[in-house]
Amino acid sequence: MENRQYIEKINKLRKEKNAVILAHNYQRPEIQDIADFAGDSLELSIKAAQTKDKIIVFCGVLFMAETAKVLSPSKTVLLPDLNAGCPMADMINESDVKKLKSEHENAKVLCYVNSSAVVKAQADLCCTSSNAAKIVEYAFDKKQEIIFIPDKYLARVVAEKTGRKFIFWDGFCPTHSRILPEEINALKTKFPDAVTMVHPECTKEICDIADEILSTGQMSVFAKKSSTKTFIIGTEEGMLHRLQKENPEKKFILASKNATCPNMKKITLEKLANSLETLSPEIVLDSEIIKKAEKSIRDMVEISKKIMY
């Protein structure tokens, strides 16, 4: 079948089944284009919590679909390919968090949403890359020790910004870690007027040479508002589609040819159509895990509505 035929099938099924299609900014262009909403992790969590549709098809990776299920447990949440995981999320498990908590009894656990529901169930609060610093400042006392899991690079950025005492975990994103300083430096030489925007999952070396450290949603806002015409983008390549679509007159250059997340690319039109047809694969979570993870995610969503928008 051709893409055009899959698109027709998806459009017919989404209406028949009352399904909403949510897509992360790193999805393939054709998936972003067919989604009811494309956005960053925080925007998608808020949409998942608000939607009235009974079926949510999540085009992203497993931790994002799990977050949607925790926020909307009575709804059917589908992930068109259950193998679309996140290696960073898999770098920490429940017993790792329990051990950290027992070693730092007075610390609070702040958990990046790029983690499993089982890990979130152990956390005091969740955050995304767009709200992390504001959440820290809003929710925790200045003297509060914070265990930040799992991303050590985002943790470093937030610790520096807020001046708080963080206990780090050695997690990282393999995709963002493949972006090299020499690639960005070469582009900066070639395009001296360009603004370099990078994601906080990038290494310290990359963040140090960037002009802006932003979540994917923040990159979109910044690019629209900026009078700059050329941008070097240090994040997963899918983001360029959104930026270019929203700003056709501006130029966006990917910082590295290696910045592709293989898991984000597992969702295709064919799998999305099959998922709508068969209402599978479905996200199923233990009710106890949902109950425990819900507080840390819902609190994040509620705090964000107050402090972010």
Residues that bind ligand SF4 (CB under 6 A): 61, 86-88, 114, 173-176, 201, 236, 261, 263-264
Q: What's the min distance (Å) between Cβ of 217 and ligand SF4?
A: 14
Binding mask 195-234 for ligand 13P (x = CB under 6 A): ----x-x-------------xx------------------
Q: Which of 32, 45, 67, 114 binds ligand 13P (CB under 6 A)?
A: 114
**279: phi > 0 → left, psi -120 to 50 → alpha, else beta; which?**
left
Contact between 269 and 34 under an 8 Å Cβ cutoff? The reply is yes
Q: Which of 128, 268, 274, 296 binds ligand 13P (CB under 6 A)?
A: 128
Q: Is 67 in the site for ligand 13P (CB under 6 A)?
A: no
Site for ligand 13P in 241-300 (CB under 6 A): none
CA dihedral 77, 83, 84, 90 (to 10 degrees): 100
Q: Which of 9, 10, 13, 25 binds ligand 13P (CB under 6 A)?
A: 25
Which of 260, 216, 280 is CA-nearest to residue 81? 280
Residue 235 CA to residue 153 CA, distance in Å, equals: 14
| Total residues in contact with ligand 13P, by rule CB under 6 A | 12
Contact between 132 and 166 under an 8 Å Cβ cutoff? The reply is no
Contact partner at residue 40 from ligand SF4, ligand 13P, none, CB < 5 to 8 Å by partner kind: ligand 13P
Strand 146-149, strand 212-213: pairing: unpaired
Helix, strand, coil distribution of the chain in percent, nearest 5: 50, 15, 35
The residue (of 129 and 162) whose beta carbon lies closer to ligand 13P is 129
Binding mask 138-177 for ligand 13P (x = CB under 6 A): -----------------------------------x----
Range in contact with ligand 13P (rule: CB under 6 A) among 126-134, 161-169, 224-232, 240-248? 126-134
Tell whether the torsion through CA atoms of 114, 115, 116 and 119 is positive or negative. Answer: negative
- Residue 137's Cβ-count burial label (10 Å; 0-12, 13-18, 19+) is middle
Contact partner at residue 215 from ligand SF4, ligand 13P, none, CB < 5 to 8 Å by partner kind: ligand 13P
Q: Could you give the 3-state DSSP secondary structure of residue 272?
A: helix
Q: Is 129 in the site for ligand 13P (CB under 6 A)?
A: yes
Q: What does the angle CA 73 – CA 298 – CA 156 come to, to the nearest 5 degrees?
A: 125
DSSP letter at 212 equals E
Q: Could you give the 3-state DSSP secondary structure of residue 139?
A: helix
**Residues belonging to the chain:** 309
Q: What's the min distance (Å) between Cβ of 151 and ligand 13P?
A: 8
The residue (of 129 and 275) whose beta carbon lies closer to ligand SF4 is 129
Contact partner at residue 263 from ligand SF4, ligand 13P, none, CB < 5 to 8 Å by partner kind: ligand SF4
The residue (of 216 and 268) whose beta carbon lies closer to ligand 13P is 216
Contact partner at residue 128 from ligand 13P, ligand SF4, none, CB < 5 to 8 Å by partner kind: ligand 13P
Q: Given the rule CB under 6 A, which residues bind ligand 13P?
A: 25, 40-41, 114, 128-130, 173, 199, 201, 215-216
